[in-house]
Structure 1
Amino acid sequence: MPSTVEELSPNRVKLTVEVPFADLKPSLDKAYKSIADQVTIPGFRKGKVPPMVIDQRFGRGMVLQEAINDALPALYGQAVQEAEINPLGQPEVEVTKLEDGDKIEFTAEVDVRPKFELPDFSAVSVEVDALDVPAEAVEQQLQQLRERFASLNEVERPAAEGDVVSIDLRATRDGEPIEGATADGLTYRVGAGGMLDGLDEAITGLSAGESADFTSTLVGGAARGTEADVHVTVVKVQEQELPELDDDFAQMVSEFDTAEELRADVVKRMGDGARLEQAAKARDAVLEALVGELDIELPEGLRTSELESRKQQIEQQLSQAGMDLEQYLKESEDAEEAETPEEFWAEVEKRSADALKAQLLLDQVADEREVGVEQDDLTQYIFRRAQQSGSSPEQEMQHMMEHNHLPEWMTEIRRGKALELIVSEATVTDTTGERIELANLADDGSIREPGAEQEQAQDAGSEDAAPADEATAEESTEAR
């Protein structure tokens, strides 16, 4: 299939493709059949109308248009492969010549991957925090485990910190009830915080049937952010009785025989989690260092569409949370770097551009290093998605098939493996100066045995729910 490539700019090309008319025959046959199945013409059974009759009744032009629309995606894909270009985004296609029975010519303008030299990954050096599993964190985990199996005993005394109370809440403003700002039978642990400012102080010391009033800012619903007068009534006070952390408890809640073994398992799991977090930060740091030095001129169309997509996602998240951007910037700890909407959107634009550069870098590494994706890679990826989302591998597989996510997921896996190659060549040390080897780190935090199959370095596709748009290496490897 003859085609020519014209470079319109360093990041945009124009393909001119000439297609022999015979190549259109499968799509022409399909178009005739589709029209025949839809129309009713006297003297002919439905679906059996001859092409000549269709041409006479509806015009050859309509058939050609439908056939060309059907054939163009495959023809464009073939032309891209033959021209050995890497398109970014959707092409602008125009049929420039149509000679019925002879040939078709079309052009396709599309942004392409910028050309750049890969940096020397061995020259990259980053530092991350050393592994640390504080004893207090271990005790907190064990305490939470005991609380899960605690019993609640109703008591006839004033509520104190740690007690679990049942409360009724009523919020008013200027003496008038606020719609949607009431709750009955709400269960709350005194001292837990995270609900209404002033609630703990108000209910501490109250017995069942007693009430108190305080002023606070509502944190949910349509009246979120509203200053209101809150009336709280304690319905019931329950004392939490924790089980002893002994061998009997260990046998009840785990597969271990002793409390010592249970504690050791908690320490190990927290260490594995810390190791995985350290690895993720190392990958982020390596990728961030490379992107910061990468001089790539991004195609304007790609940059604009990516930025608009992120803006829409953030605005939708804010709308669902019942917040505007200024309120989010004021209340969220994630947005400390930006104090004004202008600063926030400028940061989003920078992170968006950095994410695109990271994708381009990983794609080029994958191409030059001939990174492939095996069936086992996809299987492990699907199992990880299922574990993270609380679904089953079968459900994830069905979702992939229904929404045609296979190309995206394969791209994510390939980029993850490319990132693993990069990080294995970089120098990563912790704050104590010890070098960290990440190449053999499994997803459970353990070290793979020599010769074990390498897995994807990092999962992609889980998007940050916060509108702050934190661009991490994970986000940067998402398929677009």
Structure 2
Amino acid sequence: MSDQEADVLSTDPEEAAEDQAEGQEQTPDRIDLSVDISEAGPCRKHLRVTVPRSEVDRFFNKEFSDLVKSASVPGFRPGKTPRRLIERRFRKDVASQVKAGLMMQSLEQIGDEQKIDALDEPNIDIEAVELPEDGDFVYEFDVEVRPEFDLPEYKGLKIKRPVREIGESEIDDGLKNFLRRFGAMKPKDTGAVKDDYLEVDIRFLHDGKVINEVENLNVRMDKELVFRDGRVADFAEKMEGVKAGDSREVKAVLSDSIRKEELRGKEVEAVFVVKGVSEQQLPTLDQDFLDSVGCGDEQELRDLVQSSLGRRLEHEQEEAAREQVIEKLLEGADWELPPDLLRRQSERTLQRTIFDLQEAGYPDDEIRAKINVLRQNSMASTARSLKQQFVLERIAESEEIKIEESDLEAEVFSLAQRTGESPRRVRARIEKEQLWDTLGLHILERKAIAAVVSHAEQEDVTVELSEPTGAAGLDESVMPEEAEEGETSAAATEEDSTKAEAEAGDESEAKDS
């Protein structure tokens, strides 16, 4: 093709599709097409689309008619080039535009006319689809769809609501956890004990071969150490007494959801090389410290801690109600979900859990430990979470529940209060990690659960304070390939948060104001 010819059709297929779509919006003539829909597995349908030759010719005719008016061909004045010459020279390029336009309009038409509740856009390789010289234009694709099921009866459920008093000992423990945020690390020469911090390098081995090494980690001595894909039980007990320069080998158990099937649930050796031991010195509750946290006296600080514990109790009550509701709603949800969908949704499920825990006021280290435990059972928990999502979306539709912009903004400010970040930074992090849809779904599900609970019969049941899990969580993996997957964490790193905040720019400032 000559340079002049290339200039005439410089638009790439995607731009051509956009131009075609704009033209079709102005002339909304529907395509006379046929669609055959068949089942292609759990939550998946196969579509075979047939566009008759008459429609293909109509699209070609429109493209060539427009091109005749604008084409600049050597030897002819603009608009005076014979159409047959235009068709011969530019047939291949126009065919690319026609194919893109036909596919875009036909897909939009299918979306409008067919009852297909798609979960995502169809994944079609446009380049691999061929537009024939003669005959009908046929293309096929699979699309993931929401499962079809009867909405369970969700009104009049019987729910038990756990209640208890927040005692002084619980406030004492809560105050200690609060003070840990301001504690200073002091190196020690004596052996490590529970709640001390270890600076370590870790070497993981299986059958005597090194499978991964991580360096320069700070680990709290707690009952259990939880990695992204494994855990060490009785960690504090096994590491008790270590000093700088010591090495100690313990067993780590891999999760049942790692990618290497032959190692799922297996034990590996974890060699901890201790580079330092520190104890945390909590700040003294003098007036200077109380002033720094905005409290006039110790009682006011204890009241704040009690208020925070109250929010956690409310979270526990909401979770108890949620679990009972979901258990009852999913009793008959025996429909299958495709593995690909489960894998894609697992990180979204974890992120929704992080939102829940942050709102309840859990500190980052506890959130990290809980998320790592969930991650190790991600496929099973994701399957349940997805079924929960589908059922709650149907309930939200039945109850006419909507998500407004004000709901999202209220959630941002709530997260900012719980995490100690500015609303702008929280908003920037959500924007950077593309979590607005996840946040909206989180709010929708919460509203749907609240609607179900409002229709339920609730009975208060007194419960005792449960023992703390005592787990320290690390954003590290035993198996190196597991670290390559999605990096959902309890909070963005300082560098990422700063970059995200800068990228949010004036839009975030405008919203805050």
Tell me the secondary structure at the aligned position of residue 462 of structure 2: coil
| Aligned mates of 2:407, 2:107 — CA distance in 1 | 29
SS in 1 for 2:106: helix
Q: Partner residue of 2:461?
A: 431
TM-score, length basis structure 1: 0.55
User: Which of the residues 87, 98, 119 maps onto 1:67?
Assistant: 98
* C-alpha distance in structure 2 between counterparts of 1:163 and 1:362, whole Å: 41
Partners of 1:312 and 1:151 lie apart in 2 by: 34
SS of structure 2 residue aligned to 1:217: strand
Written as runs of structure 1 = structure 2, the 5 A alignment for 1:297-336 is 297-298=335-336, 303-307=338-342, 309=344, 334=373
> Residues 431 and 160 of structure 1: is their aligned pair in 2 closer, same or farther, counting only changes over 3 Å?
same
Give the aligned residue type for 1:258.
D
Task: Check 1:59–1:353 CA distance in 2 against 1; reply closer, same or farther (3 A cut).
Answer: same
Q: 1:286 aligns with which of 290, 306, 325?
A: 325
Q: Give 1:255 shift.
A: 1.8
CA–CA distance in 2 between the matches of 1:311 and 1:407? 15
Match of 1:122 in 2: 155
8 A contact 2:191–2:241 mirrored in 1:
no
Structure 2 gaps of 5+ residues are: 1-29, 226-234, 254-266, 350-370, 464-485, 491-513
| Alpha-carbon distance in 2 for matches of 1:465, 1:167 | 21
Alignment partners' CA distance in 2, 1:421 and 1:26: 55
TM-superposed CA distance for 1:226, in Å, is 3.6
Q: CA deviation at 1:282?
A: 1.8
Paired letter, 2:285: L
Residue in 2 that maps onto 1:83: 114
Q: Distance in 1 between matches of 2:175 and 2:443?
A: 36
Do the aligned residues in 1 keep the contact of 2:194 with 2:240 (CA within 8 Å)?
no
Aligned residues of 2:198 and 2:221 also touching (Cα < 8 A): no
User: Does the 8 Å contact 1:86/1:112 carry over to 2?
Assistant: yes
Please say if 1:201 is aligned against 2:241. yes
Mark the CA change 1:426 to 1:163 in structure 2 (over 3 Å): closer, same or farther.
Answer: closer
How many residues align? The count is: 379
Answering whether residue 324 of structure 2 is matched by residue 259 of structure 1, we say no
Inter-partner Cα distance in structure 2 for 1:188 and 1:351: 27
Question: Equivalent residues in 2 for 1:41-56 (5 A)?
Answer: 55-56=87-88
8 Å CA contact 2:246–2:274 kept in 1: the answer is: yes
Q: Which has the higher contact order (CA 8 A, sep 6+)?
A: 2
Matches within 5 A, 1:209-358: 215-217=248-250, 225-226=268-269, 242-245=282-285, 249-252=289-292, 254-294=293-333, 297-298=335-336, 303-307=338-342, 309=344, 334=373, 348=379, 351-358=381-388
Change in 2 beyond 3 A, CA 1:233/1:242: closer
For 1:162-218, what per-residue CA distance to the aligned partner results, in whole angstroms no more than 9, with x for missing partners?
997998989999xxxx9998989x988889996786543244xxxxxxx77564338
**1:367 matched residue in structure 2:** 397
Does residue 57 (structure 1) correspond to residue 96 (structure 2)? The answer is no
Deviation at 1:158, TM superposition (A): 5.6
| Coordinate RMSD, CA, aligned | 6.1
Matches of 1:463 and 1:179, distance apart in 2: 20
TM (norm. structure 2) is: 0.52
Alpha-carbon spacing, 1:96–1:189, altered in 2? closer, same or farther (3 Å): closer
Identity %: 22
How far apart in 2 are the matches of 1:280 and 1:392?
28
1:354 is displaced (CA, Å) by: 3.5
1:142 pairs with 2:175: yes
